[in-house]
Amino acid sequence: MNEKLQSINLNNVPRHIAIIMDGNGRWAKGKGMQRVFGHKNALTAVREAVDASKQIGTKFVTLYAFSTENWNRPKLEVDALMSLLVSALKKELPEFHKKGIKVNSIGAVDQLPKTAQKTLQKVIEETQNNNVITLTFALSYGSREEIVNAIKNISKKVVNNEIDVKKIDEKIINNHLYTFNLPDVDLMIRTSGEQRISNFLLWQMAYAELYFTDVLWPDFRQEDLFDAVINYQNRERRFGKTSEQIGTDV
């Protein structure tokens, strides 16, 4: 068994891990290649992260694959990313079944090219009965946009007397987010040394532990995820309480 894996308390693993996969461009540039080369070599890191999460018993992994802001990147790079998405989903489908991975997506996926939408939907439908781990791809995703859309939808229901404005609470807001079927994030990992959350799951990460690593995403391996989880387990999650209160909670 992996030495770092042995150091992990399997009774205290994050239920939901979110990852900002950063550093593909810098990784490629460091090798004298174009940014697309970095994206092409990122799939191994995805496999490693999901496999490591599966080994420790984490049930939900969410990957920030393409943000709403990423549409502003050069067209050549955006087209390449969409093409890679389609080919990767098709290639990995047998592995999804083999490993019990249920594929999910969040974001304005209707903004994706039609081919990407169809492929994504096909993979989601074909893996819907897998139950070992749920792998969510955040595509054309922006947390502020998600929250704005939730407010609009709730407002419409208030106007139509479907929701009493006095009864709006966190649960109702949760139910109108893209992530209505996912638990809150416990651990957020960002690679490449950047220390910000870049409009990712702002509501869902209210009490998440944040972990930043200098490792560039294409170099990310299982041991790196284990390091993040070990760091997570060495923190005290108080959720607004005091250390003394946490110690007396049953």
Work out whether the CA dihedral 10, 104, 46, 200 comes out positive or negative.
negative
Q: What is the CATH number of domain 12-142+184-234?
A: 3.40.1180.10
**Closest to 193 in 3D by CA, of 209, 219, 212:** 212
pTM: 0.93
Q: Can you give the pLDDT at residue 36?
A: 86
**Residue 250 in this model has a pLDDT that exceeds 60:** no
Specify binding-site residues for substrate: 23-27, 35, 39, 67-69, 71, 73, 190, 196-198
**Residue 244 in this model has a pLDDT that exceeds 70:** no
Tokens of 2: 């992996």
Least confident of 18-22, 30-34, 220-224: 30-34
Taking only the tens place, the pLDDT of each residue in 93-106 is: 999 999 999 999 99
Active site residues: 22, 70
Taking only the tens place, the pLDDT of each residue in 125-150 is: 999 999 999 999 999 999 999 999 99
Specify binding-site residues: 22-27, 35, 39, 67-69, 71, 73, 190, 196-198, 209
Taking only the tens place, the pLDDT of each residue in 22-69 is: 999 999 999 999 888 889 899 999 999 999 999 999 999 999 999 999
* % residues pLDDT > 70 (the chain): 94
| Average pLDDT rounded to a whole number, residues 74-97 | 95
Specify binding-site residues for Mg(2+): 22, 209
Chain mean position to CA 148: 20
Chain mean position to CA 164: 32
Cα–Cα separations (whole angstroms), residue 40 to 27, 55, 160, 193, 220? 11, 25, 48, 21, 14
**Closest to 213 in 3D by CA, of 187, 234, 235, 236:** 187
Least confident of 87-91, 193-197, 232-236: 232-236
* Dihedral in degrees, nearest 10, Cα atoms 105, 106, 109, 112: -70
Chain mean position to CA 203: 13
Least confident of 73-77, 148-152, 186-190: 73-77
